[in-house]
Amino acid sequence: MTDSAILRVAVPSPLRRLFDYLWPADLGPLPAPGCRVLVPFGRRKVVGMVVEVTDHSDFHLSKLKPVTQLLDSQPLLPEPMLQLCKWAAGYYQHPIGDALGTALPALLRKGEAVPEQRHTYWQLTPHGKGLPASALARAPRQQQVLQHLQRYRTASRAAFQPLGITLTVLRQLEQKGLIEAVSTPLLQSSDPVELLSETPLPLYPQQQQALDAIELHNFHCYLLDGETGSGKTEVYLQAIEKVVRYGRQALVLIPEISLTPQTLSRFQARFNCSVVVLHSGLTDRERALGWNAARTGQAAIIIGTRSAIFTPLHKPGLLIVDEEHDNSFKQQDGFRYSARDLAVIRASREEIPLILGSATPSLESLHNCQQQRYTRLILSQRPGSAQQPHWQTVDIRQHRLSAGYSRELIEAIQQQLNEGNQVLVFLNRRGFAPTLSCHQCGWIANCYRCEARLTVHRHINRLLCHHCEYQQAVPNSCPECHSAQLQCIGQGTERSEETLEALFPQYPVIRVDRDTTRRKQAMQAMVDRVNGGEPCILIGTQMLAKGHHFPNVTLVAILDADGGLFSADFRAPEKMGQLITQVAGRAGRGDKPGTVILQSHHCDHPLIASLVQQDYRSFSDMLLAERHLAQLPPFRHMALLRAEAADGQAAAEFLQYARQCAEQLLPASPDTGYLGPLPAAMEKRNGRFRHQLSITCRERPRLQQLMSPLSVMLEQSPLGAKVRWSVDIDPQDMT
């Protein structure tokens, strides 16, 4: 059918398609793509977004419903963002409505109007201006306002606060018709002379070379590969400065804002222009305001976590992904996008540069450098007097450990504390002990919903499952044999804290993990305490590996380096090496040299040896060679189909069907491999049995050509209705 205006609208629905609606002429001229509309959907009215305007529908016009209401007169999402969302929905095989929902702040998703940041101030009315300064003598507060405004002409509410003038006083004057409130849109402060509020550091030669290499006027990816503390942030700051000076905006993605308050304050300290931070602690309104400031160009610099990749920019100039190897850039459920990978797509479409920064780059990015798709910029020094730490291993195969600590390690800690230094102990397991077991019969406390052990948390005296919500009180006796001889086996941070307090009673022990940092500001309080400089011991999980700068830490101890060596997840060794290198990088960032002590049962394992004797670069080269041999990503492109159900058989059958469909579309060959369905590494989680099927292709487009029709087939399969299933493109977590 033709001659009617039809809108193709993305609505919040699990279906992977757009929906057609009629545009009633009485609603005015046709809206542009990117505008929100209210449309009937099933029995409800939902907020959707116009994606296409057309005159054709595959359905008969009499079947189409009209749009109820237009919510925006101007597109909310500019064309490039709309295209990016469409691309991402297609690439990640995710419903377009939900993908677009991710791109909008919650407030706007709900259909509310875009809030406007306004500047509100008070001024005298003509009547007020006519009064002498001595008027209102019987109301001294009101007189004070009068005199203030006669002198300064305008003043905001905030300016009156320090004078002790309340809103009530202002309202009284307003009622008398003497003053009035005026509200104007917030203007951009764009005076380039005042862009900086501190002088940039003079760059050392490698930093300068890196900065000079970054071409600001076209698309290219740069991997800023610089050890922790080598001055990557300074390079970002100076690249941003250049971009902002020619009137463009910079978008910076960082892994987790609460863990990196220092990075944030460095951006705020450097620039006078408006820096918008998008993080989970904001209210819906604040988030929408920040988002809109980016969209309209009021904000020159936007810093955010994963979902900030979808922030529209008025004049994009530069994208930065700091700690590009970090897992948090990949969403692990729902819309399983990688913000880092989308940054590459976005930068190429907007024709702007992208800087990926890391001390421990992902194998994907290193591979892209080897293929000469990215330019690798290396910073191999630390500025000033800070030195790379010295590494040492302790082979713990033959040793008697006291609660996880070798004698060598205890002595080394003692020595550093005696010298007035600080020590950081890394143990990537929170809780008291990972296992509770019966000494008599060997019973082990397992989660009944997961194929996992329960972790002992002593301060709350409970057993918690770290994979589901299950928890219970710690039993007094064995549920099998009733013996009272229950033992905590293994080490968690809580237990290690206790051990350290017993070993070094005269020094404070500060534990940093998810349990101790739940409270807002708790992390900052700990960082401040450590930076106070007193000798102390920090014990914590990977939270300590991120972004912090502890100048007085001279010893970093890694209690157990073996976790990632023998895992079912092919990415586990890469992650282990990144974590160890990142934690080690916390040592010796100040004037004093640092030492790293690594305890392992496998000191001669080639991966451990290359980390300790050489560095992350040789370690990652070795891993890349292994991936090449095994034909795993980044040498192949992977999609992982997951299915889970209370009935494990149903999950496996669904994936078996998926494999049949897939093999019909694209038969197995040297270029295309199928593996599975197989039980997941953790076969049972939260009461459901989990299976997976992995598909790997040599060519990315091949995989895409397969996944789109396959997803549609699976969506329509009745088998799929019985299980919970998902498609994960470029999966990061294989467990």
Contact of residue 467 among Zn ion, ligand ADP, none (CB under 5-8 Å per partner type): Zn ion
**Position 478 contacts Zn ion (CB under 5 A):** yes
Cα dihedral sign, 213-214-220-221 = positive
Smallest CA-to-CA distance from 447 within 469, 428, 480 is with: 469
By beta-carbon proximity to ligand ADP, the closer residue of 381 and 455 is 381
Write the burial class of residue 85 (CB in 10 Å: 0-12 exposed, 13-18 middle, 19+ buried). Answer: buried
DSSP 60-71: -GGGPPBP-EE-
CA dist 467 and 712 (Å) reads 31
Cα distances from 661 to residues 665, 674, 706, in angstroms, run 6, 12, 10
**Window 218-247: residues binding Zn ion (CB under 5 A):** none
Surface-to-core class of residue 594, CB atoms within 10 Å of its CB (0-12 exposed, 13-18 middle, 19+ buried): buried
Residue whose CB is less far from ligand ADP, 93 or 207: 207
Residue closer to ligand ADP (CB basis): 237 or 293: 237
* Residue 104, contacted partner among Zn ion, ligand ADP, none, CB below 5-8 A by kind: none
Smallest gap, in angstroms, from Cβ of residue 215 to ligand ADP?
A: 21
Phi, psi of 551 (to 5 degrees): -65, -20
CA–chain centroid gap for 116, Å, is 27
- 585 phi and psi angles, rounded to 5 deg: -65, -10
Q: Does 467 bind Zn ion (CB under 5 A)?
A: yes
Residue 526 beta carbon to ligand ADP: minimum distance, rounded to whole angstroms: 19
Under rule CB under 5 A, residue 465 binds Zn ion: yes
DSSP string, 613-652: HS-HHHHHHHHHHHHHHHT-TTSSEEEEEEEEESSHHHHH
* Min dist. Cβ of residue 433 to Zn ion (A): 17
470 touching Zn ion, by CB under 5 A: yes
Cβ–Cβ contacts within 10 Å for residue 670, how many? Answer: 7
Q: Given the rule CB under 5 A, which of 112-120, 333-341, 420-428, 447-455 is the region that contacts Zn ion? A: 447-455
Smallest distance from ligand ADP to CB 279, Å: 19
Nearer to ligand ADP, 232 or 340 (CB): 232
Regarding 514 and contact with Zn ion (CB under 5 A), the answer is: no
Q: Report in angstroms how near the CB of residue 430 gets to ligand ADP at its nearest.
A: 25
- The whole-angstrom separation of Cα 244 and Cα 280 is 26
Strands lying side by side in the sheet with 637-645: 672-685, 688-697, 637-645, 724-729
For Zn ion, the binding residue among 468, 474, 661, 665 (CB under 5 A) is 468
SS3 469: coil
229 binds, among ligand ADP, Zn ion, none (CB under 5 to 8 A by kind): ligand ADP
Cβ proximity to ligand ADP: between 102 and 358 the closer is 358
Q: Which residue lies nearer to Zn ion by CB, 450 or 561?
A: 450
Q: Quick one: 331 or 381, whose CB is closer to ligand ADP?
A: 381
440, 471, 705, 735: which one binds Zn ion (CB under 5 A): 440
Residue partners of 93: CB distance under 8 A and separation at least 6: 16, 707, 708, 711, 727, 729
DSSP type of residue 338: B
Residue whose CB is less far from ligand ADP, 73 or 380? 380
Q: How far is the first Cα of the chain from the last one, in angstroms, to the nearest whole number?
A: 50
Number of Cα atoms under 13 Å in the Cβ half of residue 207:
21
> Binding residues for ligand ADP, per CB under 6 A?
201-204, 207, 226, 228-234, 383-384
Total residues at interface with Zn ion (CB under 5 A): 15
Residue 440 touches which of Zn ion, ligand ADP, none (Cβ within 5-8 Å per kind): Zn ion
What letter does residue 127 receive in the DSSP assignment? H
Place of tokens 């060596």: 565
Which partner in ligand ADP, Zn ion, none is near 95 (CB below 5 to 8 A by kind)?
A: none
Which of Zn ion, ligand ADP, none has residue 645 at its interface (CB below 5 to 8 Å by kind)?
A: none
Q: Which is nearer to ligand ADP, 208 or 669 (CB)?
A: 208
The residue among 483 and 521 lying less far from Zn ion, judged by its C-beta, is 483
From 176, 242, 349, 449, residue interacting with Zn ion (rule: CB under 5 A): 449
383 binds, among ligand ADP, Zn ion, none (CB under 5 to 8 A by kind): ligand ADP
Least Å from the CB of residue 514 to ligand ADP: 23
Q: How many CB atoms lie within 10 A of CB 187?
A: 8
Using CB under 5 A, list all residues that contact Zn ion: 438, 440-441, 443, 447, 449-450, 465, 467-468, 470, 478, 480-481, 483
